[in-house]
Structure 1
Amino acid sequence: MIEVQLEVIENVEKKPKPNPDSLQFGKVFTDHMFTMDFSSEKGWFQPQIIPYAPISLEPAAMVFHYGQSVFEGLKAYINTDGNIQLFRPEENLKRLNRSNNRLSIPPISEELILSYLKRLLILEKDWIPTAEGTSLYIRPLIIATESSLSVAPSKNYKLMIILSPVGSYYPEGIHPVSIQVEHHFTRAVRGGTGTAKTGGNYSGGYNAQKKAADQGHAQVMWLDGVEKKYIEEVGSMNIFFKINGQVVTPELNDSILEGVTRKSIIQLLKDWKVDVVERKISLDELRQAYHDGLLEEAFGAGTAAVVSPIGELSLEDETMIINGRQTGELTKSLYTTITGIQTGKLPDPFGWTEKVEY
């Protein structure tokens, strides 16, 4: 991608900032957005920061018919020095390109898009909340825009970045959640799109999520799509178990999303000299560890919550209570450390954070 002059069109009608104490996830959006277009003739072109507004697409736009789209999710913070700080943005943009490759979407220049994102963040700095646990959620997305009903990759695309101030995932403190093991519906299989962040992966899980919610559970735990035997993810997060002192997380297997938080947790645990392994783990093995009194902690890991402790696993024939439905010490330490690094309250020995200069 050749660097093109970024056009900035400021919104003259600024919106009022929301109350930081009542922020929800993804309900309020900032004054501006970033857009860039792609055509097979021009490549990626016309980068713009423009007022946040609806976009116009033809009913025949291919994204509506064949779901050719990808997205990412990351956050910006105001650190203790009052500067804008990002957490491993290069990892999210690398993953965006991996998703692009899987969905037959042209790659982006990760460095160039990061530079445009920084310009957008500087313009929207006043939208970044500073209250405890709050942040500015960043949603890059790419959609197919060619007007055609051909079952083939689009020749035209639109890349957008929108921003949303979000509240603390745990407004009343971090609490373990109840998870239902899903035995019927499948999230992804090898060779499918499970390793990509694409829309259909998530809407395909709504039935299972509703079933779990109707029975009082916060999320579902997905099993592999072939044997319904091996644990893969929980909700839209990666999952970890502490078993007899060892932390186990399902290995990446061409159907599990490679989470940035997952990668950070593994690196942090190794630095702490905690035994952590990536391997296949079956539901039967987990059940046996529970009955042997060896299942000590469990938690999900993702951008929104960082870590989400699991206090209860509901199976078809029994309920497993983990750590007395209390947040484990390791889970708590991981949450405190990663959020501390993200916000600049703790030192960053790994070079994970990136300050936005302005």
Structure 2
Amino acid sequence: MIDKIVIRFSNFSGSLDNCRPQRELIKKESDWDKYRLPRSSRKGDHSLFVGVNKEDKKKVVVSGSLRNWLYGKSTFRDLTASDFEKVVLKLAEALHIPPSELGKTKFTQCEIGLNVKIKTSCKEIIPKIVDYHLYDRDNVLDETVYFNGSCKHLKIYDKTTEVAAKNEELRETIGVMQAKGNHILRIEFTLDNKKAFTQSHMGFIKTIGDLHINYSNLYEFWAKNVNDIVIMNALEENNSMTPKEYLFLISLIGFDQIESFEDVDEFELFAEKYKRFLDSYLSYCKGVSDGALKTARSKAYREFIAAFDKYPSSEEYNKKVLRGDIILALLRQSIKDDSAHFPTLVKSVCGVTNSNNK
């Protein structure tokens, strides 16, 4: 679950005996002295970054990937709650502070993610991931897609390729794994600050100790939010379509086979599909009543993205397949981590909410 994090000490009582000065090719003026805290493992060395305020030495910032620091930079393992406790104890030891001091220390930015095993190439899937809460989207080489909000961000990328790039010894093994159709998609959310945690209904998590105590909430946050990812694929007719749905979607069925759109970016194709859907939707609502037209636009987008979930082409990787892969990933994680309450997480991934939470 937890990966990168920024920990902020306001009254640091330890020492930096295990730290090394950070080398900088270009020295810049800064109010902070910069160090790195290395740790070796059989999966490769990794360092956390440590900053010490020049005017107040008790102000110390530790940042970086706790997962990589514990396991090494070329690993597919995710931190369980017990792993997080282990890395907290090792970090406290390395900084020469009591674990209780680290437990009471506040953090700001925190990355919450999980690896998902899939049978389809990440390069085929990532371009199809077109939306998450209408956040700004950036697709990099079909290997990574970003969605950026004001204080919350989503990053989805090819974890298999990333690990292979970091470890030359593993490249051949990973190449064989990919050739057999085994790929790993990394889905991670970054919460920038307290505001982001509050907006995500986790405002009670403020310290490192809070993260450990409420680890199950991190799983639930992740599961709920991956359900909001929109994957665009071709649509196909279905006998369960209502006449109204058929009216709206018929213009989109077979749309991907139109030659003039063959080389169009998936996101542009998604926008064009929505434009056609919206025109049909507004035309229908205008014919019903003026009142219906007023709320039509907000309803239209919800129904549009729901269509890709309800009527995806069975010949393509789609939201239903992703949901199945995510559920399997959570099942595997729940076997290793008691904090991952599998039945609750499945409901979140499927968009099922308890009546008392509505």
Using the size of structure 2 for normalisation, the TM-score is 0.29
Using the size of structure 1 for normalisation, the TM-score is 0.29
Higher strand share: 1
Q: Which has the higher contact order (CA 8 A, sep 6+)?
A: 1
Higher helix share: 2
